[in-house]
Chain A
Amino acid sequence: MAQVTLRRIIKEYEGGVQAVKGIDLDIADHEFVVLVGPSGCGKSTTLRMIAGLEEISAGDIAIGGALVNDIPPRDRDIAMVFQNYALYPHMTVYDNMAFGLMLRKFPKAEIDRRVKEAARILDIGMLLDRKPKALSGGQRQRVAMGRAIVRDPKVFLFDEPLSNLDAKLRVQMRTEIKKVHQTVKTTTIYVTHDQVEAMTLADRVVVMNHGVIEQVGPPQELYHNPATRFVAGFIGSPAMNFIPCRLEQGGAGLQVELPGGVALPVPAERKARYTAHQGRELLFGIRPEHLTEVRPNDHRDNMAVFEAVPEVVEPMGMETLAHFRVDGAEICARLDPATPAAPGRKLPLAADMAKMHLIDPKSDKVL
């Protein structure tokens, strides 16, 4: 049993600056939760408060049902993996992993069994006699994870563990972390600024911004039903397009009127949701993957077709990105690579209006 509960957690630094502004979070046993957000959003501070490395200014933290507000890190039964690995440079890999167990006076045979087992899981058995300086970045990261695994703690805490690795290794270690979690199933809290890491690893993603939680939910939920403009723009790559618009009653029902005279019909099933906002200035949000080339014999429902003139065309191989402007707003569309798109040439585009979002610019909430 190792659920983690945060209640109205506040972190205030000297001078009254609030890094974390009263957040609530419930993390279930065995769950993999990722805190994600831009730098300075309070995600690392939150993690460090759970670890006990930072004092909390107000609120309660419970691990496994026990209040840990005033309990030192060593008695919280947690293990942490740091961004820069924080391996003890004078110890061998074996001793690095065994250190925590030796301090807790585990019997030698038990330490040996656990270290060997962790080394097997992480595939670092042949490195046990080496010092950290003789390891590559990825190997050091594995050892840092091994140090956490051998402790068999209630909770794993990861503080941007992949940020120091190169792109290729990062993808590889990401899979590795997921594999380890599937094996040991320990409750995990993982901090990153990379939304791809968050999406791929998490059971649930916690999006933070300016010290508050914007939204909590499974990755797909955040992707399809973002609660705020920030989440809509943060999750997904390339980011969602936002275009200022007006919601008006047209001949065939509600329609989104974009600057430049383009009017896109709102799907009938959204009518009830949006009617109250008729006549207002709103933000129209649509992901690049829902803005595609017009396909011949395309009979999908809710497709709205309009013309645009791309400024830049980026062939990516599996797809082509076309960038154009609507009244100053930069818009990106994802096209099939076979589409004959060229900068400066008119291109008919199809918007999948079933995937559209409308955002209230006053509250930044998705309607």
Chain B
Amino acid sequence: MSATAARPSAALPGLGRKIGSLRRERRWALVTAYISLVIAAIFMLGPPLYMLLTSLKTSAEIADLSRSPWSISTVTLSNYAAILGDPMFRGFFYNSIIVTVLVVAITMVISVLAAFALARMRFFGSQVLATGVFLTYLVPDTLLFIPLYQIVGGLGLLNSIWGLVLVYPTLTVPFCTWIMIGYFASIPKELDEAALIDGAGWMQMLTKIFIPVALPGIIAATIFAFTVSWAAFVYPTAFITQPDSMPLTIGVVSQLIRGDTFAWGQLMAGALLAALPPVIVYAFLMDYYIAGLTAGATKG
């Protein structure tokens, strides 16, 4: 008792401080935050900026080591023109788009249905299953690609984008399901009970209530699935060796590095073009992602 009684008096000197201290602490926090953010921004944005500068240079200028790599004398779009004008690279783009769209669609159908079942339908082993789904995500793809090579090979899908459509969901489904379980679990139970009494079946409850209410979560999961399948590198490296089935990620690297000859300008232009779609997707969907649609569902 004496210890608890002593605590408030020990805290009392804090009360006696100058009134301006709160403002001072807030300013301190802001300054620290800005310094950290600037360092992080330099760290994160340095490489893409360097890529952009390099992609705008001629090969001769890139090879000229006498000048600072951050300066640029003649801006040229020839690297971009070369990439975009090459039907093979347009093929890479096309492959990436097909694979990504299909994988995102498959992932969202599977994980929304799975998450709904795991979050709302109490059945034997549902808890274990939910944890199991997440654990599978923890197995790295660098470990999985060897057994998966056997499976994909056995199915005759090596050197085919369909092999990628088959294996990417092993990366995306567990994590997306996990995100969606969390979102569905945050929807108040009374909402489905109200729907149940209003006459909705499980499927109507999912499509008319859960999916619209959990839209921010679904968009977050979609962004994740999109990013993973667009940027996947290990699986296509292992399963695809012929250029006509390559997605952009490995196509750029494999076709622009010939032995020890690096076409740096085109390499950087290709990499930037490859990075563009995720940037666009994020820019458009970020507002949805942040907007809390559940506000007002219950007492708020």
B260 on the A face (CB < 8 A): no
Q: Which of A2-10, A84-92, A247-255 forms contacts with chain B?
A: A84-92
Tell me whether B198 and A99 are in contact (CB under 8 A).
yes
Q: Which of A174-205 contact B (CB under 8 A)?
A: none
A75 (CB) vs chain B CBs: closest residue: B199
B194 on the A face (CB < 8 A): yes
A134 (CB) vs chain B CBs: closest residue: B296
Minimum Cβ distance to chain B for residue A152 (Å): 13
A135 (CB) vs chain B CBs: closest residue: B296
B192 (CB) vs chain A CBs: closest residue: A86
Minimum Cβ distance to chain B for residue A70 (Å): 15
Tell me whether A82 and B193 are in contact (CB under 8 A).
yes
Tell me whether A82 and B194 are in contact (CB under 8 A).
yes
Residues 25-53 of chain A, each 1 if its beta carbon lies under 8 Å from chain B, else 0: 00000000000000000000000000111
B299 on the A face (CB < 8 A): yes
Cβ–Cβ < 8 Å partners of B297 in chain A: 86-89, 132
B64 on the A face (CB < 8 A): no
B41 on the A face (CB < 8 A): no
Q: Considering residues A52, A85, A132, which has the most beta carbons from chain B within 10 angstroms of its beta carbon?
A: A85
Given A84-B299, A132-B297, A133-B296, verify A74-B198 contact (CB < 8 Å). yes
Cβ–Cβ < 8 Å partners of B191 in chain A: 86, 88
Tell me whether B196 and A53 are in contact (CB under 8 A).
yes
Distance between Cα atoms of A151 and B199 in the complex (Å): 10
Cβ–Cβ < 8 Å partners of A79 in chain B: 197
Tell me whether B188 and A86 are in contact (CB under 8 A).
yes
A98 (CB) vs chain B CBs: closest residue: B198
Tell me whether A87 and B198 are in contact (CB under 8 A).
no
Q: Which of B261-300 contact A (CB under 8 A)?
A: 293-300
Minimum Cβ distance to chain A for residue B131 (Å): 21
B255 on the A face (CB < 8 A): no
Tell me whether B296 and A80 are in contact (CB under 8 A).
no
B153 on the A face (CB < 8 A): no
Cβ–Cβ < 8 Å partners of B212 in chain A: 90
Tell me whether B294 and A89 are in contact (CB under 8 A).
yes
Residues 126-139 of chain A, each 1 if its beta carbon lies under 8 Å from chain B, else 0: 00000111110100
Cβ–Cβ < 8 Å partners of A74 in chain B: 196-201
Q: Which of A74-115 contact B (CB under 8 A)?
A: 74, 78-80, 82-90, 99-100, 103-104
Tell me whether B193 and A86 are in contact (CB under 8 A).
yes
Tell me whether A104 and B196 are in contact (CB under 8 A).
no
Given A51-B197, A53-B196, A74-B198, verify A85-B209 contact (CB < 8 Å). no
Minimum Cβ distance to chain A for residue B282 (Å): 24
A100 partner, pick from B198, B293, B295, beta carbons under 8 A: B198
Given A53-B193, A103-B200, A147-B198, verify A90-B299 contact (CB < 8 Å). no
A164 on the B face (CB < 8 A): yes
B194 (CB) vs chain A CBs: closest residue: A86
B213 on the A face (CB < 8 A): yes
List residues of chain A with CB under 8 Å of any chain B CB. Answer: 51-53, 72-74, 78-80, 82-90, 99-100, 103-104, 131-135, 137, 140, 147, 151, 164
List residues of chain B with CB under 8 Å of any chain A CB. Answer: 188, 190-191, 193-201, 204, 208-209, 212-213, 215, 293-300
Closest 6 CB pairs of A and B: A133-B296, A100-B198, A86-B190, A84-B298, A89-B297, A74-B199
14 contacts between A and B (CB under 8 A): A72-B196, A80-B194, A84-B298, A86-B297, A86-B298, A87-B296, A87-B297, A88-B191, A88-B194, A89-B294, A89-B295, A100-B198, A103-B200, A131-B296
Known: A103-B198, A131-B296; 17 extra A-B contacts, CB below 8 A, are: A51-B193, A80-B194, A80-B197, A84-B299, A86-B297, A87-B194, A87-B297, A87-B298, A88-B191, A88-B194, A89-B294, A89-B295, A99-B198, A100-B197, A103-B199, A133-B296, A164-B299
